[in-house]
Amino acid sequence: MGVRTAQQTDSAPKPYNNAIHFNALYENTPGTYAFRATDQEELSAWQAAFRPKLRESLGLDNMASDLSGYVPNAERLDSEDLGSHVRERWYLWVEPTVPLPFYLLLPKGMKPGAGRVEASPEGNGREGMKPGAGRADGHPSGTGRGGKLPLVIVPHGHNHPHIYVGISRDEAEEAHMLEGERDIARQAAAEEGYIVIAPTTRAFGETRTEKDIQADRMHSCRDQLVHDLLVGRTPIGERVWDTSRLIDWAIENLPIDADRIAITGNSGGGTISLFASACDTRIALSMPGCYFCTFVGSIGTIHHCECNYVPGMLRMGEMYDVAGLIAPRPFCAIAGRHDTIFPIAEVQAAYDRLRAIYAVAGAEDRCVLSIGEGGHRFYKTPAWDFVRRHFGA
């Protein structure tokens, strides 16, 4: 086969254009599980086929196999009464080698240590998940449903874990937290009266690599990704795994209403909120902040952290298809009109597609897009209004 020279072509050869190439990839990649259902029976069949495939692609099946029979242990580190709520620091060993730090926030009226379980016989300060252990004997009035409270899980994004519970370590952090209403876990406990778990997102905080901790880098997401890929995992999958293990622990050890579990977080916390809700149907309400968009129009076009990527994701479906796995459970996408990394036009396009899925589910009124007049931040007023509407005032 001969090689054509520039003189033999109709025009000079064109230089490589990465945008053209990537767009061509996206346009020619079929979504096997793109939503096509026309009634509720087809919707249920689509979810039943897609959810296991998504879990497999995230690496959750590999994790479940590798950790088969493992029972996480918990340890409480300290407790602080802040007046409006009690804030406790805990570890949950989500894997034998991963003590995941999390904050437990208990609203006023619950006793400090409400989530504490009995010490293990070995006396090592680590406790197993014992049914009924450590239940509080004082609850806020008017909670209903046997005195049990809703649980809100609040994963953070590319930020320090402590900001979500209202801790700032300098004036810059304080301003960043208050300007963007980023103390989301504190809001849920102190202002809304919910039990709250605010976990460290894996590859942040204490779960960074030693070198990143020493260099004071925010996260170790690249290291997490490359090691995960070698063993058939993904960062998103590990973070979904952690969320589910925290739900297991909360159901066994806290006075929560297991029918009223919500999840919300901003940016990377929105990522976890969306994927965890799609994979774990115990989450009754999903409220991702500044994340819901299209994959192509956000992480496929604009520079984002490596932790956002799932191998072959677009061969399964778009983000609105993933969110469709949440239907008919209440879903609220929080967005910023001037968010430059999750563009509002793409958010609106994704929402229109998701509304169509909820319409087939007969639950169009449970799917909401709330747009704040700002950038990449949380917007607490519409968020908590939505939760109250579905969980009760």
The 10s digit of each residue's pLDDT in 33-67 is 999 999 999 999 999 999 999 999 999 999 999 99
Is there a domain that residue 30 lies in? Answer: no
* Cα dihedral: 32, 33, 39, 45 (round 10): 110
Q: What is residue 215's DSSP assignment? A: T
What's the pLDDT band for 17 if we cut at 50, 70, 90?
very high
Query: How many domains does the chain divide into?
Result: 1
What is the average per-residue pLDDT within 70-88?
A: 97
Range with the lowest mean pLDDT among 71-75, 140-144, 193-197, 344-348? 140-144
Average pLDDT, the chain: 90
Both tokens of 41, joined, read 């029976």
Is there a domain that residue 379 lies in? Answer: yes
Quote the pLDDT of residue 12: 72
Residue 235 has pLDDT above 80, yes or no: yes
Residue with tokens 């096997």: 32
CATH number at residue 256: 3.40.50.1820
Range with the lowest mean pLDDT among 65-69, 71-75, 86-90, 108-112? 108-112
Both tokens of 371, joined, read 């747009």
Nearest Cα to 350, choosing from 269, 296, 306, 272? Answer: 296
DSSP result, 21-73? HHHHHHHT---TT-----SHHHHHHHHHHHHHHHHHHHTHHHHHHHTTT---E
Both tokens of 289, joined, read 């902040």
Q: Which domain holds residue 269?
A: 37-114+146-391
Is there a domain that residue 25 lies in? Answer: no
Quote the pLDDT of residue 145: 66
What is the average per-residue pLDDT within 172-181?
A: 94
Q: Is 8 helix (H, G, I), strand (E, B) or coil?
A: helix
The string of pLDDT tens digits covering residues 90-147 is 999 999 999 999 999 999 876 444 444 333 323 333 444 333 333 333 334 335 566 8
Cβ-based neighbour number of residue 218 at 10 Å: 14
Is there a domain that residue 295 lies in? Answer: yes
Is there a domain that residue 55 lies in? Answer: yes
What is the average per-residue pLDDT within 78-97?
A: 97
What is the average per-residue pLDDT within 209-226?
A: 97
Both tokens of 385, joined, read 């209004």
Is there a domain that residue 21 lies in? Answer: no
CA distance 236 to 241: 9
* Whole-prediction pTM: 0.90
